[in-house]
Structure 1
Amino acid sequence: MEQKSLELLQTSIAQGADGLGNDLKKILKKPFLLVTGDGREYYPEKIPVSETIRKILQHLPSFTDDQYYYMEERRLLVLQVSLEDSELRLFLFISRVAEKDIDGLLQTALTARLALMYFLRSKVEVGQEISRVTDEILTSAFAGVKSRLENLLQQSGIELDEKQSYRVMLVESEEQPFESIEVDFKASILQLMHQYNDAMVCPLVWHGRGVVIMPEIETVPEHPVHEHEQCMHRILQQWQRDFSKRHQLLLSCGIGNMHALSDLQKSYREARLALSYGRTKHEQGFFRYYHDCGIVSNIFAGGVESAFEFCRTALGRLLDYDGENDADLLATLKLLLETNFNYTTTAAELFVHVNTVRYRSDKIEQLLARDLNDPDVRFNLYAAVRVREILVDMHILPSGYVGNAGSVHEKIHGGEEAVSH
């Protein structure tokens, strides 16, 4: 047995999954899959696991390397290999197994344990390196560092075409930490990629959100599902619904516009804004493109600094007064705009007397030197209020910030790094 273990180890070192799988096929004499717990199949094919296997992985009970899991109705035997310093697991799914076969298969598989542990160790080390490089790439790409993204991606083995345009989709869950669903997020997106002709780039997790980089639809190889962008929209929305239902949570998605690879950080920020737009409207489980954010997307089109300038120009004196006097004028203005200046409803929402709301309305009009009965004035003020909420949510503008227009440059550049988080 020791000699056979060494032979399998040598095969694993020299030939990887294919060589090890071919040797295991000879000694097990049963159909089997070699898969990792993050939803990747390495033998007989290097593809994302099927939906069936992914569901089994998701609901596997806890068991040790010295134990096994047997599904009698499927005649499926599952063996596990793990490492003390890693959460990643390697699983051997052996099918067509009768209960009487289990002991013999356990003995046979024991000879392969050393080789399987080596294989798992190699996957863990590669995964750690990819994670490290990916974090560097995303930090450089999305935190405003002026470096060529395509070069950084190529260094990590992620092949993107600099002549092609891409967009970013960000995925987040407010109910639970994204790390708790990271494995299934990656596995399900990988499966979607494989199912639809690899239309999306490998899913990533960064700063507590899922990140998916998608190429322009027209450049995807011909396939019925890629005839137009609406198809991809439906595919992604269906994935969002299925994933949310499976984990009993509300998953929100924000998608940026298409940009050249070197400007991918713009799509990231647009996707980030789409998420903030939904959150500040107190929505959950939404699916929103940046261009569906209405006038807000137009205001942010000139960049964060121009959006900040718009906000300060429209609301500056009001913000300064509110901060100095704790007057709640901004909150009052927002509710007045949302209720079409219904003083009674606004008073009820704020738990104040209706005369207090009338006084505040007069004070707002005095500070802004604007006629609040003018529809154009109301329109611009509501847009400014929404822009401010989004800037706060994106950690560019601190909540309750008080300052003069002269401090715009300092505040903007102080918040540029935060927008990436």
Structure 2
Amino acid sequence: MKLTILGGGGFRVPLVYGALLGDRAEGRVTHVVLHDLDSRRLSAVTRVLAEQAAGVPDAPEVSATTDLDEALRGADFVFSAIRVGGLEGRANDERVALAEGVLGQETVGAGGIAYGLRTVPVAVDIARRVARLAPDAWVINFTNPAGLVTEAMSRHLGDRVIGICDSPVGLGRRIARVLGANPAEAWIDYVGLNHLGWVRGLRVAGRDELPRLLADPDLLGSFEEGKLFGVDWLRSLGAIPNEYLHYYYFNREAVRSYQQADKTRGAFLADQQARFYEEMKRPDAAALTAWDRTRAEREATYMSENRETAGAGERDADDLSGGYEKVALALMRAIARDERTTLILNVRNQGTLSVLDEDAVIEVPCLVDANGAHPVAVAPLPDHATGLVCSVKGVEREVLAAAESGSRATAVKAFALHPLVDSVNVARRLVEGYTDVHPGLAYLV
């Protein structure tokens, strides 16, 4: 089976390959094609993968190419993890927004809109090529903003594109762990959009254990989200929000913390990864060791500004292991082998949330089999969550409309309607600032 990884020179690709190395079952991936526009990064990541595969019998073959059509032909699965504009683009997203006093995070608020505006046209081109060159392939999208990009691609690929994210997986795992339950045996009642969802229940053997967690202040304050949001706020919500909702519930504090930081997250990662890829220019460099060291630092500093604002302290060691690669592998196994499973995924709504239309991509538990991912029926969201979900989905639709039409006015509308952008004039200045620094937004007129 052939897996094509778009963004194959990306830093997190070894996580995916490491998961594949542990899969010994029949029908596993036997050939991995890495595609990237940067041949230097492709070479570096290929070296890391080669060291990972050393001594592993029948490790999946790895090849690399800068030719997108060549990479897609004959693919059974396409894993999309591209970053349009690179980390320099992410740093610019943050910088322009913070200069206007609004959040610049890569998937939330102004930064997420800017990232979406320059990513959607590229993702749509990829979807059209997949439809033409590999019509039977399944596309697994991890490209951010994941829900928005998945929806853009679904307009050309239908349900054969599925978005994944590690945030809900990590959240469910932490809740189960603190309750003394096995995450693999727990049913997680999670619903929302990508980076905008809530755990409303966690069932073990048919019993919802979340009320027990919410009733125990010590237990509730003992894990990441309890520390991040505070016990009182979680009890008021009656649910455990995705960590990215910290940007909404504590927006003023988050913006201030980001403005006071020595470097934005994007600038930090750009410098960090530049050192890694520079080190990989040395033929004698231990590629896997260098990658592992850099990855550990990356994971330890994840959302550090938010944790500092909340006084949450350092991340627990169990939360430093990632997880999206496990979701991707479980998804491929379920489809390729009809190994039925349940995963929290980004898929078309299909009536799951009545407040959104059929084609709106949402993030919910899905039953997965050889025919793809099927969203599970969920209870309606409370009013406060419904309002936020509908508002942000409306913004996503304006981003898609702007990307399709090239309308600058529609781009301004997308920014202005976002709950974390507080002025139409700010929205206009954001569009000016982003078009000044991003050549990929020159299409907006």
Shorter-chain-normalised TM-score: which range? Answer: under 0.3
Structure with more contact order per residue of length (Cα contacts < 8 Å, sep ≥ 6) = 2
Say which one has the larger Rg.
Answer: 1
For normalisation by structure 2, the TM-score amounts to: 0.23
Question: Which has the larger share of helix?
Answer: 1
For normalisation by structure 1, the TM-score amounts to: 0.24
